[in-house]
Structure 1
Amino acid sequence: MSAAVRIRAYAPADLSACLALFDGNVPRYFTISERSEFEDFLRAGPPGYVVAERDGRVVACGGWYARDGEARLCWGLAQRELHGQGIGRALLDARLQAIREAGGVSAVSITTSQLSEGFFVKRGFEVTEREVDGLAPGLDRVEARLMLQEHRA
C-alpha cells in the first residue's frame, strides 16, 4: 500500500464517492439491481458506517450493526482497482475494533459471495452456509461467522 489509509465516520457528503465505488464493483461483486438499496441505505445515514480515505479520496466503505448479541457486517466494498492493497483489511480491522469497543457482542457475521469469502476466511471467519446462485446467477450467497473470543487482532 503506497499511502496510509484513514478510517472515519461516513458523512452525507460521501454519498457520491460511495456510489462510485459500488458502480466500479458491478457486475463482478454486486448486481446493478442492488444499487438503489445501497443508495437508500446511505441516505438513511447509517450508524456504524465508515469510509476509508487514501490521499484524501474515499477508496472504501463499510459498516456494521449489532442485534441480539451478534454483529453483522454490511455493505463493505473497496475501489476495485485497489483490491489486494490492504485497504479492505484496514476497513475490516477498524470495524472489528469498533464492534469490540461497543461490547456485548460475541460473534460477527457477514453475507458475502464466493468471490470474497477467501478474504474473510483468511481473517478467521468460518463459512456456515452456502447457496449456489443465492445472490444472483454466478454469485453464490455465503454466510460466514467470526467468534470474537477466538479472533486475534
Structure 2
Amino acid sequence: MKLTIRPYLPTDYKAVLAAFHTNVPEYFPASEEAWLRSCLDEPDGPLFVVLEGEDIVGFGGYEISEFYNLGTLVFGLVRADRHGTGIGRALLHYRLLHMAALTLRPRYVTVDTHPHTAGFFLRCGFEEIARWPGGYRSGRDRVDLRFELSDDAVEKLRTA
C-alpha cells in the first residue's frame, strides 16, 4: 500500500498515542508518554505523520536550534506491527530532506536513542558520537548520533 507523509494535525492526536503505545515498553518506556503529549500539544518544530491508506502508522518531527547550525530529530516512531517495512526509513528521509530545503539548512542533524535502535540510524548514514550508560532518566542507556546534511548526503537521500 502507498505511504503518504503529511504534517501532523491535532485530529491525529489519539492515533499517534496509539502508535506510541504499540512500542511500549520495548522501544519507549511508558514514562516518555508525557514528553510525547507535550510535544504534540506545544511542538518546537514541524511534526509529521505517515499514513498507510487512512491509518497512521508513523510519526516524527524535528527541531532547529536558534543558536547552533543543528537540527534534532524528535520522536521517530512506527507502529510496532509495521516495523521492518521501510516506513521508518521513509519518515527519516522525509524529515532530513525537509530540513535540507530550509533557507538556513542545518549542517548536522542529531538524534538520541536507545542502543537497540541505534543500528537503524547507523545503517542510514548517521555516526555515533556518544554513548551514555544510564543516560536517560528512565535508567536506559542513551546513544547520541549525528548526520552531516551535506550536498552529497542530500543528493543520496533524493535518489534513495
Name the TM tier (shorter chain).
over 0.9
Find the residue that maps to 1:29 and give its secondary structure: coil
Percent identity, please: 33
Going by fraction, where is strand more abundant, 1 or 2?
1
Equivalent residue letter for 1:115: H
Runs of 4+ in 1 over 6 A off after TM superposition: none
Q: Render the CA deviation track for 1:102-135: whole Å, top value 9, x for unaligned.
A: 1421110001111111110011100000012322
1:98 aligns with 2:98: yes
Find the residue that maps to 1:28 and give its secondary structure: coil
Q: Is the 8 A contact 1:11 1:45 kept in 2?
A: no
TM-score, with length taken from structure 2: 0.89
Quote the Cα distance in structure 2 between the aligned partners of 1:145 and 1:103: 20
Deviates more, 1:87-96 or 1:102-111: 102-111
Q: Which residue of 1 aligns with 2:15?
A: 17
Equivalent residue letter for 1:107: Y
How many matched pairs?
Answer: 150
Q: Which residue of 2 aligns with 1:70?
A: 70
Task: State the shift of 1:34 in Å.
Answer: 1.1
Find the residue that maps to 1:62 and give its secondary structure: strand
Q: Which residue of 1 aligns with 2:57?
A: 59
Give 5+ residue unaligned stretches, structure 2. none
Q: Which residue of 2 aligns with 1:120?
A: 121
- Output the aligned Cα RMSD: 1.3
Find the residue that maps to 1:144 and give its secondary structure: strand
